[in-house]
Amino acid sequence: MAGLKHLNRMGLKEQHLIKSSKVVRAVGGFVMTCLGWIPIEFHIGNRISKQALYICDKVDRIYFSRSGCVEVGIIPREFPYPMEELNVVGTSVSKSEEKQVTHPHNSAEHICEPPPPRPKDIPFPATVENVGTVS
């Protein structure tokens, strides 16, 4: 989804839009009726997503669909659910291998360790003096 200013930046006018009666419902019950759409290719890095770009009034940013975000690698296919852990070559990691998971963004010599277990007791006295201040 995008606004009229984006259409203008592409050198297009409202009459170039393919007519549509699409209605987008946003947070808080806000409703937007789209003026129309154009087929477009988004290129991000070496990935491409072919999408229908709906043009709506009062939209000042471009918003990607979930499927568009997945296609170009912005979010994982599993989003919003937790991803399966991957090792450096992208294969699943079993629970027995979990202690030596290589983070996909690090080189093979940097091994990520899981965090330590949660302590049974807090490691300091529970006093007012030990409560952090919020700034």
pLDDT at 107 over 70: no
**What is the mean predicted confidence (pLDDT) over 30-41?**
89
Distance CA(108)–CA(70), nearest Å, equals: 26
DSSP state of 112: E
Q: How many CB atoms lie within 10 A of CB 93?
A: 15
Q: Compare 66 and 106 and report the one with higher pLDDT.
A: 66
Arithmetic mean of pLDDT over the chain: 78
What's the pLDDT score for residue 85? Answer: 63
